[in-house]
């Protein structure tokens, strides 16, 4: 089968580079176009990113020039789809233009997450919401699918199997890595040897996005979940991996073995479809007394292509109707580029993007 | 008035050094004896601690030799009281010996915190528990008073004014500094760029110690408080200052202004008595969007002698019966040496340690 | 005596804030004007700097509004002098304008350091260069005096007493703190757990500025020193304090005792004049095996007003004509605001700025 | 061909774990025995190391028990060779015992580095010194081969091609990662946000070991090189990778192109023999303005099996007879386990350890 041509929008930032790395050798997709704004446009990718190795991998750096972020350039490349790591303000205008041009947009940007026609998708959790994409394109084939905030992406994977046990309310305190703010988003002066108990807009996003993802399709839109969420967000001097301290309250005291079994045994559509970026086990339950840790566990997930896509859970403590635990997810993989790619893989397998060929 | 002679037990560790620094120029107490175990005994203090400046202050290093930790040595120095920064195993035996010798022991060690005759004291919170000390000494004047774990010391100061508003349950996630584990307690390899979601025994201490401190005197002992506590503890790459993310649940929705007023207006016995180490305001409520931070706020507290004794509170978010906020307290000051010293100052003013006159 | 009115230009950055803090209670100067560009202009200082405590001190935050950086505003304030923490591009134009207006400018900016009429001054090292200031002002009283780069400021203090021993060449490897790049100058992503072996333009500045400071007055200008310098600069994840590893080569093997005596006994004009910001000992020679360290020694210097102005030297290793050692200086105090202030104090005592009397 | 059975002595430390990881799937060797002292002996390896993933790789953890460090246990396992990550005190006695038992010992310990019969070997630099091994065993086949200190291992690879250009003296300032001191060797309290300008014994080792490695075989022993070395060592808050700032002085000014060509073109015996752990290019010369960096470049080296074995060189600055540059080498790979393994591979190819089979 021929691979589907894909663009990466905003290719020079930390998330954009992860998209480029993940597309290297991907079984469904091939890179056809790179865009970036400002000084990068017109340069070779290697020159635009300065330090290719900074993404942490050893992927080949594509010998490709970077275009300015314009819909015409993307369309001219033959791309049928685009992965967007654009800043929200730029995504607001460009992503709909691409949709109008018939392109399937998988966006990590926040701009359209609450558009009532746009799914906010985590395939292990609400694959059915992908149906919303069909209604967007007015017959031209284009649509926008978004993935959530980097905290929410990991959180909902862990909450999904708990819902059936009567989950009622969740207290979340986050320990967020500096990569979550982008390459220059956190100044060393502010965070070295420190913890900053605030990330602008983050707590609001966590509450609102979780409610949409866990909500039910209702007519064309989504009726938000009524799960109570109490988020408190901090930035910590860690490079990659968002740790979360979770206090889960249930309507009734869950059985300890059932609860562990629900987490460990959790498998969902991406696993059944064996999507390339889907981890064999979406949740890895750790039995050690001091895990998960960002440094040791951020890249959890198998096979190789799914590294950083598994969500690690540990230190489960059950007491009556309450269960406290820690969870960890890689913020630029499960929480950004990897999540978006998984959405695209699901869309391909659901027939929303034709794999030409034969 | 003559000053009371005091010993510092375990003077070479991070808490021991804080005791030495805080006693420099203290209006009630003067240093009469230093003890440390192992290789330090027999050395001059300056030689024993290697790097005097590591305690962060500019206090004079006393030109005094360090004794082995034996009751006879303490008694021989003429000390009427002792501040203990001993490890628990050593404190278990030595502190009662000192009590038998008529010495008033103010201990940061955990060994005797749950002895039913020993108060676990935070003067702003449960000053009345000091009455328990009187019954210990069999007429000889000696007694043991303990201060709590470094997390609990800050936590209970913030919870105290909330109890009158109907506080019912508390979720606590901690971000604990490396100094809390002692000078060599955390290996750089484990914590650089990392968060470790476990501190051995800490969560149990938080629940149990908070219950004793907030409990009521009942006969000779304490009937523990029934406040629900859900602690989750982590170590972070921060030097000093334990940050805590708090989720407080009330029986009924508190009024926002009353809640802020209760915190800001909180004053207690140490403030009324103007104890030297008591901060003018035990709770500093921060209005900024991103405070308190360990690096900026660990040393909160006025006057100079009370630096590191104020507990900072910030990011108050009230929603129905729930109030989420962050708090910060200096772990080796409010949470250790400073707390112990405040206990001793209260004991002096309550007449439990005679200040010999002229 | 009445105090001299002073402006602080660029008051919101890390160096600007140090100027404000150091002027609080200064015996010669009083704050008359604050300027900052962009969004800060028009705000109260407290609002402009966001986090007053970030400068690390407990100085009162002046209740004063911030003006836009214009010469007219400075002159209107009645300021007879200005301390400049301006970025170089802004300093290039504004500092000469202020000079034309009769104002004495003490500048930490690099813009005019190589103007042949402008002294590059470190009072312990080349106090005589201050004579250059007199020739600048065309009778109006205004002039510009600059202080060097934050590495050079500490380096030349240590090299000065070695010159008499036949110092010929110096190899310097720096370990520079993040504050040296300004509040947002180093991204956490780049430096957390890392060392970056490059600081743009720094090595060139070190060579060229050292040559000017150690040079001889010759006619109106300075004939650069011929001391060989081989600098290699790095950024390390440290907040304050630039450590330097020095390899000094002499024409002839120096005597060990004489060398140590030359460093320890070094006193200069600022010490003789007892300038308020002059440390009693400009060089503190440490005998320990592992000092100086940024965390422990950056604030060396006595009295209180001179904290961070002493340069610490340690690990002296003499072998033939070679002496290797480490030195440490506080980069925003000795290396910036404190150095500039010391220059101004010298200028006052040399009669270049009239202290109006009663 | 059958693989040679190998033991790993001291398998639970950071270097021991690297040995275990590197032996996984090795073409010449197979793991036959693990030893560790104290509490680990008798446990399964996975239990002994607590956190298998801490070695940073994803190698299978061998399902094998750990023996106490005794020669009999090693011999009983059928091991023909042993990789030693023992502490020096233990290595002093055990390694000669193993040699007596006919076992070829490749040791990272410092105990026998200056035994006149024992080679201190870096295959790219002094492969000929391996001849010394033959004389040790008294016909039984056992011998000891050592690899140098973690700084020296990288340094000599970069110096080797410069010797032919007239290298005369070298100034070295190191930036050493915490892993170089072992898992618990550096306390977080000492290094967080700090630089410590001292590592006990390190500077002496650098001078003495470099002299032996670069020396000439002379009779049975080595006549040390007369290259002058001026080392200054520091510990920095970095996890892996020792950066070095080098000032190289030549007898005559080297030609810039020849110097770069000598470094880039450097290939040696391990490359010609295509030893499995030999990097294709022992020296990687970086042209960027800010490389090498520990975080980005510590794992330089190809193929996969040689990751962390290439030495990165950058920021070459030539001025007359002087060339300054930075170099970086991975301290537990090129500087420890990988270096030792390369020594063993060379010994196999030189016929010193029979590969049984056929």
| pLDDT tens column, C216-241 | 998 878 999 999 999 999 999 999 99
C244-265 as b/e: b if 16+ CB within 10 A:
bbbbbbbeeebeeeebbebbee
At residue D15, the pLDDT reads: 96
Please check whether residue B14 touches D, CB under 8 A: yes
Q: What is the mean pLDDT of residues B247-253?
A: 98
Q: Is B182 left (phi over 0), alpha (psi -120 to 50) or beta?
A: left
* Nearest Cα residue in chain C from A181: C189
With 60 as the cut, is the pLDDT of residue A51 above it? no
The model's confidence at residue D139, banded by pLDDT at 50, 70 and 90, is low
Please give, rounded to a whole number of angstroms, the shortest distance from the CA of C158 to a CA of chain B.
Answer: 23
The model's confidence at residue D134, banded by pLDDT at 50, 70 and 90, is confident
Q: Do D195 and C234 touch (CB under 8 A)?
A: no
* Nearest Cα residue in chain A from B291: A197
Q: Is D109 helix (H, G, I), strand (E, B) or coil?
A: coil
With 60 as the cut, is the pLDDT of residue A329 above it? yes
With 70 as the cut, is the pLDDT of residue D137 above it? no
> Which residues in chain C are closer than 8 Å to D299, comparing Cβ atoms?
none
Write down the mean pLDDT value for chain C.
93
Highest mean pLDDT among A217-221, C41-45, D82-86: D82-86
Q: How many whole angstroms separate alpha carbon B236 and alpha carbon B191?
A: 7
Q: Determine whether D233 is an active site residue.
A: no
Please tell me the least confidently modeled range out of B13-17, B165-169, B327-331, D37-41.
D37-41
> Which residues in chain B are closer than 8 Å to C288, comparing Cβ atoms?
51
Please give, rounded to a whole number of angstroms, the shortest distance from the CA of D327 to a CA of chain B.
Answer: 23
Q: What is the mean pLDDT of residues B204-224?
A: 95
Q: What is the mean pLDDT of residues B193-212?
A: 98
Q: Which of D51, D54, D296 sits opposite A53 (nearest CB)?
A: D296
Best of A56, A296, A314, A328 to mutate (most D CBs within 10 Å, chain D): A296
Please check whether residue D347 touches C, CB under 8 A: no
- Condensed to tens digits (0 to 9), the pLDDT of residues A176-232 reads 999 999 999 999 999 999 999 999 999 999 999 999 999 999 887 899 999 999 999
Q: Which residues of B are catalytic?
A: 150, 242
Neighbouring chains of C at 3+ CB pairs within 8 Å? A, B, D
Please check whether residue B188 touches A, CB under 8 A: no
Three-state SS annotation for chain A = CCCEEEEEECCCCHHHHHHHHHHCCCCCEEEEEEECCHHHCCCEHHHHHCCHHHHCCCCCCCCCECECCCHHHHHHCCCCEEEECCCHHHHHHHHHHHHHCCCEEEECCCCCCCCCCCCECCHHHHHHHHHHHHCCCCCCCCEEEECCCHHHHHHHHHHHHHHCCCEEEEEEEEEECHHHHCCCCCEHHHHCCCCECCCCCHHHHHHHHHHHHCCEEECCEEECCCCEEEEECCECCCCCCEEEEEEEEECCCCCHHHHHHHHHCCCCHHHHCCCCCCCCCCEEEECCCCCCCHHHHCCCCCCHHHCCCCEEEEEEEEECCEEEEEEEECCCHHHHHHHHHHHHHHHHHCCCCCCCCC
At residue B285, the pLDDT reads: 97
Q: Do C296 and B54 touch (CB under 8 A)?
A: yes
At residue C63, the pLDDT reads: 73
> Which residues in chain A are closer than 8 Å to D288, comparing Cβ atoms?
51
Q: Which of the two residues, C42 and A73, has the higher pLDDT score? A: A73
Tokens of C65: 């509004």
Q: Do A192 and C187 touch (CB under 8 A)?
A: no
At residue B189, the pLDDT reads: 96
With 60 as the cut, is the pLDDT of residue C358 above it? no
How many CA atoms lie less than 13 Å away from D76 in the CB half-sphere? 9
With 90 as the cut, is the pLDDT of residue D17 above it? yes
- Condensed to tens digits (0 to 9), the pLDDT of residues A89-142 reads 999 999 999 999 999 999 999 999 999 999 999 999 999 999 999 878 666 789
Best of D56, D168, D171, D296 to mutate (most C CBs within 10 Å, chain C): D171
With 80 as the cut, is the pLDDT of residue D62 above it? no
With 50 as the cut, is the pLDDT of residue A357 above it? no
Window 271-310 of B, Cβ < 8 Å to C? 288, 291, 296-297
Q: Which of C230, C237, C315 sits opposite D322 (nearest CB)?
A: C230
Q: Do D192 and B178 touch (CB under 8 A)?
A: yes
Work out whether the CA dihedral C163, C167, C170, C174 comes out positive or negative: negative
- Condensed to tens digits (0 to 9), the pLDDT of residues B14-55 reads 999 999 999 999 999 999 999 998 788 888 888 777 654 444
At residue B290, the pLDDT reads: 95
At residue C355, the pLDDT reads: 74
CB pairs under 8 A between B and D: 55
Q: How many whole angstroms separate alpha carbon D278 and alpha carbon D27?
A: 13
At residue A350, the pLDDT reads: 95
With 50 as the cut, is the pLDDT of residue B56 above it? no
pLDDT more than 70, % of chain B: 95
Q: Do A51 and D288 touch (CB under 8 A)?
A: yes
Please check whether residue B358 touches C, CB under 8 A: no
The model's confidence at residue B137, banded by pLDDT at 50, 70 and 90, is low
How many CA atoms lie less than 13 Å away from A142 in the CB half-sphere? 18
CB pairs under 8 A between B and C: 15
Q: How many whole angstroms separate alpha carbon C334 and alpha carbon B340?
A: 38
- Condensed to tens digits (0 to 9), the pLDDT of residues C140-175 reads 789 999 999 999 999 999 999 999 999 999 999 999
Q: Which of A51, A193, A296 sits opposite D53 (nearest CB)?
A: A296
With 70 as the cut, is the pLDDT of residue A57 above it? no
At residue D228, the pLDDT reads: 98
Window 45-64 of D, Cβ < 8 Å to A? 51, 53-54
Please check whether residue B101 touches C, CB under 8 A: no
With 50 as the cut, is the pLDDT of residue D162 above it? yes
Please give, rounded to a whole number of angstroms, the shortest distance from the CA of D345 to a CA of chain C.
Answer: 32
Q: Do B293 and A238 touch (CB under 8 A)?
A: no
- Condensed to tens digits (0 to 9), the pLDDT of residues C243-288 reads 999 999 999 999 999 999 999 999 999 999 999 999 999 999 999 9
Q: Do B234 and A243 touch (CB under 8 A)?
A: yes
Window 137-156 of B, Cβ < 8 Å to D? none
Q: What is the mean pLDDT of residues C104-131?
A: 97
Q: Do D183 and B191 touch (CB under 8 A)?
A: no
Q: Which of D230, D293, D317 sits opposite C196 (nearest CB)?
A: D293
With 90 as the cut, is the pLDDT of residue D220 above it? no
> Which residues in chain C are closer than 8 Å to B296, comparing Cβ atoms?
51, 53-54
With 90 as the cut, is the pLDDT of residue D283 above it? yes
Q: Do D296 and A54 touch (CB under 8 A)?
A: yes
Please tell me the least confidently modeled range out of A171-175, B51-55, B104-108.
B51-55
Write down the mean pLDDT value for chain A.
93
Q: Determine whether D11 is an active site residue.
A: no
Q: Do B238 and A314 touch (CB under 8 A)?
A: no
Q: Which residues of C are catalytic?
A: 150, 242
* Nearest Cα residue in chain C from B47: C288
Q: DSSP letters of B86-126?
A: --HHHHHHHHHHHHHTT-EEEE-SSTTTT-TTS-B--HHHH
Please give, rounded to a whole number of angstroms, the shortest distance from the CA of A195 to a CA of chain D.
Answer: 14
With 50 as the cut, is the pLDDT of residue A55 above it? no
Q: Do D315 and C238 touch (CB under 8 A)?
A: no
Q: What is the mean pLDDT of residues A35-46?
A: 84
> Which of C7, C22, C138, C20 shows the shortest CA–CA distance to C80?
C7
The interface predicted TM-score of the complex, written ipTM, equals 0.95
With 50 as the cut, is the pLDDT of residue C52 above it? no
Q: Which of A178, A184, A192 sits opposite C237 (nearest CB)?
A: A192
Q: Do A53 and D288 touch (CB under 8 A)?
A: no
Q: Which of B178, B183, B187 sits opposite D184 (nearest CB)?
A: B187
Q: Which of the two residues, A54 and B316, has the higher pLDDT score? A: B316
Please check whether residue A188 touches C, CB under 8 A: yes
With 80 as the cut, is the pLDDT of residue A342 above it? yes
Please give, rounded to a whole number of angstroms, the shortest distance from the CA of A291 to a CA of chain D.
Answer: 10
Q: Do B53 and C193 touch (CB under 8 A)?
A: no
At residue A42, the pLDDT reads: 83
pTM of the model as a whole: 0.96
Please give, rounded to a whole number of angstroms, the shortest distance from the CA of C158 to a CA of chain D.
Answer: 17
């Amino acid at each position: 089968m021929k691979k589907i041509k894909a663009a990466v929008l905003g290719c020079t930032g930390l998330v954009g580079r992860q998209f480029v790395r993940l597309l290297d050798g991907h079984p469904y997709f091939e890179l056809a176009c790179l865009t970036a704004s400002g000084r990068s446009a017109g340069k070779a990718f290697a020159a635009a990113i300065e330090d290719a190795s900074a993404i942490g991998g050893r992927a080949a750096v594509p010998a490709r020039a970077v275009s300015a972020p314009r819909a015409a350039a993307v369309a001219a490349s033959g791309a049928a789809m685009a992965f967007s790591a654009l800043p929200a303000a730029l995504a607001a205008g460009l992503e709909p233009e691409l949709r109008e041009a018939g392109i399937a947009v998988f966006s990590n940007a926040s701009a359209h997450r609450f558009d009532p026609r746009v799914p906010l998708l985590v395939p292990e959790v609400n694959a059915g919401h992908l149906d919303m994409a069909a209604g967007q394109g007015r017959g031209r084939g284009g649509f926008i699918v978004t993935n959530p905030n980097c905290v929410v992406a990991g959180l909902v994977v862990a909450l999904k199997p708990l819902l059936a046990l009567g989950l009622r309310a969740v207290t979340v305190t986050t320990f967020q890595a500096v990569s979550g703010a982008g390459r220059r988003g956190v100044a060393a002066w502010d965070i070295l040897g420190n913890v900053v108990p605030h990330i602008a807009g983050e707590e609001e996003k966590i509450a609102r996005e979780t409610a949409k993802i866990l909500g039910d399709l209702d007519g064309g839109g989504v009726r938000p979940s009524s799960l109570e969420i109490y988020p408190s967000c901090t930035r910590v001097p860690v490079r990659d991996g968002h740790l979360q301290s979770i206090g889960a309250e249930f309507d009734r005291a869950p059985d300890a073995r059932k609860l562990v079994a629900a987490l460990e045994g959790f498998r969902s559509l991406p696993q059944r479809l064996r999507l390339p970026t889907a981890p064999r086990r979406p949740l890895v339950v750790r039995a050690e007394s001091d895990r998960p840790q960002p440094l040791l566990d951020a890249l959890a997930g198998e096979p190789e292509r799914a590294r950083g896509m598994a969500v690690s859970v540990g230190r489960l403590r059950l007491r009556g109707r309450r269960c406290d635990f820690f969870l960890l997810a890689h913020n630029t993989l499960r929480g950004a580029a990897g999540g978006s790619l998984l959405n695209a893989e699901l869309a391909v397998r659901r027939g929303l993007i034709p794999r030409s060929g034969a």
